[in-house]
Amino acid sequence: MPGSSIIDDLTARGLLQDATDLEALRRRLDESPIVLYCGFDPTATSLHIGSLLPLLVLRRFQEHGHRPIALAGGATGMIGDPSGRSAERNLLDDATLDANVQGIVAQLRRFLDFDRSGNPARLVDNRDWTAPLSAIDFLRDVGKHVTVNQMLAKESVKARVESESGISFTEFSYMLLQANDYRWLHEHERCELQIGGSDQWGNITAGIDLIRRTSAQHVHGLTFPLMTKADGTKFGKTAAGAVWLDPALTSPYEFFQYWINTDDRDVRRFLLQLTLLPVEEVEAVVAAHTAAPDAREAQRRLAREVTTLVHGADACREAEQASAGFRRPAGELSADELAALAGEIPTTALARPEVEGVDVVDLLVRTGLASSRSDARRAIEGGGVNINDERQAAPRPVEAADLLHGRYLMLRKGKKHRHLVVVE
RNA sequence: GGGUCGGUGCCCGAGUGGCCAAAGGGAACGGGCUGUAAACCCGUCGGUUCUGCCUUCGAAGGUUCGAAUCCUUCCCGGCCCA
């Protein structure tokens, strides 16, 4: 198997946006396994699904025999990458950053194989070599090799320089730190390829230039297109916020639902880029879906694949069951089925006096389904509120008879916003 | 440091003494149509004990019967000059 088949695979999946010298990279990959890296920003305690794509590309490389390094940007995270940003970032403090790095490192572990013989994955934190660097060392060893002219020419910087609010020196310097990461990994880990989203192009080439100037070595860079959605909304964001990989922040059920709701126009690309399914299989699924779009098979397959990848097969099965449970009205579900739903969908446990005799309006607020009592009232007036899947025409107190099996209450606002109340 | 322009609801953005809880757009939410898709149509979108009352237009004071709109000071940002 030629090493460059990974390139063909990435191409077939539409994952190749730019590469520094694709032919040279192919030749290099054919020669012998390569060490490559990709950076992940610890901007939160968890990664979100935007990181799925780079994570899986690393994984694809590893399955082709190459050695991936996942870099947690503990140092660069303190600076803030200006790429794709219109405004200055807030700086994170040490403690927050520590917690964030810890969180994402645990997640990175799930996607790569650290024990694989021959090409085990590695995990690094750029604080290890960046923190000890003095300002003077940095200016002499990195800054000296780069002209401000080149830096200003980078798209990420140019956009911000021309913007109203400008760019701080701190963020301006970001690309030098990333360039230094690449150089460090090149020197210490023999890393020869950096990958990233297309917004990382400027940062990646900065590293390549730095390596060439300081060691006359030619290394590679490769980017993939940023995830977009057909309807123009931001990938990975819902009304509730980001879709996280951490099950405590986004439950497997919510995660599963995110993919189930995928637009027809996006589903093929997502299957190709966010799952490990072979390309031919994706095409077969897509063909079936085109023939019978109302069956939503492609969305279901996508949801299954991605949820299993992130949360495991068991969690995925439970999520899918919860998702399917809604085909029947809540009133028909057994006590066991409702119990299984608890925790899977948004759930609130309340004492009996907090439910019985309490107005639906207050319960909607209590569960977060409505932001205020006015909001709750308006939702009821608009015909959007259901108790146990029965539409409520007007506000009313909840009665003991409403409690399914004596302790469950299924509140629903609109088609998709469900909340289970459990009486303790 | 000087000058100048600006800071309005989730975002953009109109408003420049009463008719302003504040135009318009976007996002969001609800309803309808659907396939848990898209498009489209309709409605809602500060709070509330709801034809009223309360809180809001960077912050604090002031003028006025009445201020998002005028004045003062302060804070923050853009641009120009030094």
Q: Would you state the pLDDT for residue A44?
A: 84
The residues of chain A scoring below 70 in pLDDT are 1-4, 84-91, 163-165, 239-240, 325
Find the Å distance, CA of residue A102 to C1' of nucleotide B11.
33
Strand B interface, protein residues by Cβ within 7 Å: A 164-166, 230-231, 233, 239, 257, 260-264, 293-294, 296, 299, 323-324, 326, 365, 371-375, 377-379, 382-384, 413-417
Find the Å distance, CA of residue A374 to C1' of nucleotide B50.
10
What nucleotide is nearest A382 when CA is compared to C1'? B30
Q: Would you state the pLDDT for residue A72?
A: 93
What nucleotide is nearest A238 when CA is compared to C1'? B28
Find the Å distance, CA of residue A376 to C1' of nucleotide B17.
37
CA dihedral A83, A87, A93, A99 (to 10 degrees): -60
Q: Would you state the pLDDT for residue A1?
A: 45
Find the Å distance, CA of residue A249 to C1' of nucleotide B42.
35
User: Protein footprint on strand B: which nucleotides are under 7 Å from a CB?
Assistant: 27-32, 34-39, 43-50, 77-79
- Measured from the Cβ of residue A360, the count of other Cβ atoms closer than 10 Å reads 24
Q: Would you state the pLDDT for residue A239?
A: 61
- Domains within chain A, CATH numbers bracketed: 5-224 (3.40.50.620), 237-327 (1.10.240.10), 347-423 (3.10.290.10)
Q: Would you state the pLDDT for residue A75?
A: 87
Find the Å distance, CA of residue A122 to C1' of nucleotide B41.
55
What nucleotide is nearest A164 when CA is compared to C1'? B78
What nucleotide is nearest A266 when CA is compared to C1'? B37
What nucleotide is nearest A233 when CA is compared to C1'? B27
DSSP states of A119-143: S--EEEETHHHHTT--HHHHHHHTG
A409 class by beta-carbon count within 10 Å (0-12 exposed, 13-18 middle, 19+ buried): buried
Check if the beta carbon of residue A213 is closer than 8 Å to that of residue A142. no
Check if the beta carbon of residue A40 is closer than 8 Å to that of residue A8. no
Q: Would you state the pLDDT for residue A84?
A: 62
Check if the beta carbon of residue A49 is closer than 8 Å to that of residue A102. no
Find the Å distance, CA of residue A202 to C1' of nucleotide B60.
46
Question: Which residues does residue A358 pair with via DSSP β-bridges, in sequence order?
Answer: none
Q: Would you state the pLDDT for residue A29?
A: 93
Find the Å distance, CA of residue A380 to C1' of nucleotide B20.
28
- Taking alpha carbons only, the member of A123, A122, A121 closest to residue A62 is A121
